[in-house]
Each structure stands twice: as C-alpha cells, then as structure tokens.
Amino acid sequence: MFVHSLRQAVQASPRSALPEVSSLLWKAYAAGQIGEEDAQALSNDIEARKTRPASPAPARRHAGSRPRSDASMERRRRWAASGSMPPQLQARFTQAEAAAMAVVAAEVRVKGSCRLHNAHVAALAGVSVSTVKNAVRVARKLGFIRVEERRRSAWRNDSNVITVVDLAWLAWLRLRRAGVGLNPCLPRIQEQKGASERRGAPTPDTGYGGVRATGRWKLCR
C-alpha cells in the first residue's frame, strides 16, 4: 500500500518536488516499510522523471482589448505625434496613453470638454479601453485634467466630462486653435476617415468633423 502511494507521488509530483519524494522513499526503505526491489524501482522512476525534458509552456494569450493591427498602430502613432500636448506634459505618458490624451485634447480644443466614451476614445486612438482609463487616471492624478462623473442611476453612468485645467496645456491648445506653431499635416488615415466624418469625431489630420484645415500649410488641427 505504501509502495503504491509512493509510486503515485512520483508520477504526480512536479520536477521541483522530486528530491523531497526521493528523500521520503529512502527514509521509508531505512525504516523497513518497503523492500529493496521496490525502492530501487521507485528510485529509477524518479531519475527518469528528472531526465525527462520539461513540457513546453502553453502559449500566452494576450488579455484585454489592445488593438494589434497595423491600422490601429498607425492611428496610435499619428495621434501621439499630433502635437496636442506640450512636450513636457506628454513625456509623462507612454505613446499609447499620449495618443488617448491627444483625442481628448482634440475634443477639448473644439468643444471645451471631452464627453466621448472610453471605448470611442480607444477606437479613435488605436489603443485599448484600459489604456484610456490609465491615461485619464494619470492625467487626473498629475492635475492636468478634471473629470466629472455623470451618474444616471445606481446601475448606469453616462460618459465622463473631461476638461483640461493645466494652464500650460490650455495655453498650448489656444495657440493650436489660432494656428500658431503647428506641424505640417500628416496624411489621412483612410480607414478612419469615413467613420470619423460621420460621427463628427476628431482625427489627427483634420482636427474635427472631417474638415481639413487650410492656410499657408495643410495643418494638423
């Protein structure tokens, strides 16, 4: 009976626990609980388990909703490079977080506040919803923005109202609204153009409502 239990322990124990099983085996042999033949057979099983190559680790699944397509990565880079934040502020965020905050800034620049849902911001910026939440949390903690939660009932909330309160960021947005110090416009994102114009949502190259900025250069509004 004890030999059967030891044999099950040898087969079921992970490789890291085999030395402990081996120690238990030889203690049982010294105490006369198992015979020499059984002890040798179990010892051979333990050595065979030790030399057996470890099974490969299962493929890691990427959790969450992070977009990984080429189009989403392109949107993310374009928004991050759109110049919607002062460089000293943008340096506090990752590229994905900066892209999300650039979408928020584009809304604030035109409407005075951002009322887009997190999923909408994530789709425009080419990032995940969790990245948008992280970006808003960091910006709120640093005092760059103010977030007003709109609770409709005990089980339902409307989208948050985000406003920029940082003075340097506000001045930056005023200059961009006036067309001062803008970078030459990036090419349109064809995948984004139709849906964004129908929704009236901002894009890195059109600014807002799908209307391309005009002037001395084609500007990123």
Whether 103 and 145 map to the same domain: the answer is yes
Whether 124 and 179 map to the same domain: the answer is yes
Within-domain flag for 32:
yes
Q: How many domains does the chain have?
A: 2
Whether 181 and 133 map to the same domain: the answer is yes
Whether 130 and 32 map to the same domain: the answer is no
What is the mean predicted confidence (pLDDT) over 173-202? 56
Residues 6+ apart with CB under 8 A from 219: 179, 182, 183, 184, 185, 213
Checking if the pLDDT of 21 tops 50, the result is: yes
Checking if the pLDDT of 89 tops 80, the result is: yes
Q: What is the pLDDT of residue 143?
A: 95
Whether 78 and 178 map to the same domain: the answer is yes
Within-domain flag for 221:
no
In which residue are the tokens 């909703």 written? Answer: 65
Provide the domain limits for residue 138: 70-199
Q: What is the pLDDT of residue 99?
A: 95
**pLDDT tens, 129-158?**
999 999 999 999 999 999 999 888 877 888
Residue with more model confidence, 17 or 159: 159
Whether 101 and 44 map to the same domain: the answer is no
Residue 139 CA to residue 184 CA, distance in Å, equals: 27
Mean pLDDT across the chain: 77
Within-domain flag for 61:
no
Residue 72 CA to residue 115 CA, distance in Å, equals: 22
Within-domain flag for 137:
yes
Whether 11 and 109 map to the same domain: the answer is no
Q: What is the pLDDT of residue 57?
A: 64
Read off the amino acid at residue 218.
Answer: K
Q: What is the pLDDT of residue 187?
A: 39
**pLDDT tens, 50-62?**
777 666 666 665 5
33 CB-contact burial (10 Å; exposed 0-12 / middle 13-18 / buried 19+): middle
Residue 141 CA to residue 7 CA, distance in Å, equals: 58
**CA atoms lying within 13 Å on the CB side of residue 109:** 29
Whether 8 and 107 map to the same domain: the answer is no
CATH number reported for the structural domain that contains residue 136 in this entry:
1.10.10.10
List, as one string, the DSSP characters of 152-180: -SSS-EEEEEEEE--HHHHHHHHHHHTT-
Whether 120 and 160 map to the same domain: the answer is yes
Residue 208 CA to residue 187 CA, distance in Å, equals: 15
Whether 122 and 86 map to the same domain: the answer is yes
Checking if the pLDDT of 180 tops 80, the result is: no
What is the mean predicted confidence (pLDDT) over 64-85? 82
